[in-house]
Amino acid sequence: MIKPLTVEADIHFERRGRGSRRVLESGTDPAADRPVGRLARVTRLMALAIRFDKLIQAGEVTDYAELSRLGHVTRARVTQIMNLLMLAPDIQEEILFLSRVTGGRDPIHLRQLQPITLVPDWRKQRTMWKSLVCDLLGA
């Protein structure tokens, strides 16, 4: 008499893109290790501004016009993104480490940060930033 064989393993199914077939992979689900929620758009834009600045500093890109051509956006949009670099370093850091968004709209938008970027005094920027954060996040 043959005994049944039992195999135990952790598996997960993953879809790669809309309409694609499911892929069976062994091991635990890598999605379980990912943090909950998504990064706020201004967080991603702040990181992009820093990356763009490094590309320009390294000479890999010559100017904002070239960035706009490569990114298929207007030069004005690149300027809006790069204006984030005019924020005080501590404000930039806070933007990079904003809480993840778990549902609904982002709490802070780029258009709300643009007036702050135009102020050259970092002390005034910090005051405006704190006011914005208190109004929007209730912190």
**pLDDT by residue (tens digit) across 30-80?**
666 677 888 999 999 999 999 999 999 999 999 999 999 998 999 999 999
**pLDDT by residue (tens digit) across 77-135?**
999 999 999 999 999 999 999 989 888 888 899 999 999 999 999 999 999 999 999 98
Residue labelled with tokens 């298929």: 72
pTM over 0.85: no
Q: What share of the chain is helix, strand, coil (3-state, %, to 5)?
A: 55, 10, 40
Domain boundaries, the chain: 41-137
So what's the pLDDT on residue 18? Answer: 65
If DSSP states are collapsed to H, E and C, what string results for 20-56? CCEEEEECCCHHHHCCCCECCHHHHHHHHHHHHHHHH
Q: Rounded to whole angstroms, how far apart are CA atoms 29 and 46? A: 30
